[in-house]
Amino acid sequence: MRNRLILLPGWGLGVSPLEPLAAALQGLDEHLRVEIVPLPELESSDLEEWLDELDSIVPQDAWLGGWSLGGMLACELAARRGDRCCGLLTLASNPCFVAWAGWTNAMHEDDFNAFLNGCRLNPDVTLKRFSLLCAQGSADPRALARLLLAGAPKTPASVLLAGLDLLGKLDTRRALSGFQGPQLHLLAGLDGLVPAEAAGELLALLPDVEIGLIEQASHAFLLEDPHGVAGAIQAFLHEFGDD
């Protein structure tokens, strides 16, 4: 259904950060059905288990999108579905969240491992730190971090750890290259989690898809300017939709 968009949230913060964007999209196009599907609550970091769960609950023949980890999972699900996915869009999603020799513009492995260990020891403190990193680069980082944290669900520590472990292992480059449908990838210039330079690396990987860099924005740019982001998404959907 080309009038249906499914959005997947990022790690740990639940569906709340996507709600203003969904409302803005609905306001731009009354015929567009926007649904936010929560991430699975799994204690495993096995990608196939996550995809099996998502495949069972996410409607077929829709546009797939997501923020951060949700965007990475949307990439993998789109590649799995192929022609049964109308198209793909991601927000502040890096093909590899953790840097390695084949993808350098990402979080350093030592920093991520410290994050992972922090989550094992004190998930609440780690989630607070994560919200601050999400808000880094915004006009009012502390206020935005508080907003992100206020809407976060009470997720079991084992589920948070599994999701974070999955985030660290994911490499969506093959999925992105293999998916033949339309793609839009939006990144932020002042992102504290995904380096802005990843946009150039992504463009080299995918020269024929739409990649945008919102320069003065944080990882949580979908909350900073939901109407602006909605406008970019609506233009993309309109360009490739049946209308």
Catalytic positions are 68, 191, 219
CA–CA dist 170, 113 (Å, integer): 14
Collapsing DSSP states into helix, strand and coil, what is residue 155? coil
CA–CA dist 26, 23 (Å, integer): 5
Assess contact for 193 and 92: CB atoms under 8 A.
Answer: yes
How many Cβ atoms from other residues are within 10 Å of residue 61's Cβ?
A: 12
CA–CA dist 56, 42 (Å, integer): 14
Write b or e for each residue in 204-226: b if 16 or more Cβ atoms lie within 10 A of its Cβ, otherwise e.
eebeebbbebbeebbbbbbbbbb
CA–CA dist 16, 9 (Å, integer): 8
Beta strands (DSSP E) in 179-226 are 183-188, 210-214
Number of helical (H) and strand (E) elements in the chain, helices listed first: 11, 6
CA–CA dist 210, 191 (Å, integer): 19
> For residue 130, which of 74, 139, 114, 140 has the smallest C-alpha distance?
114
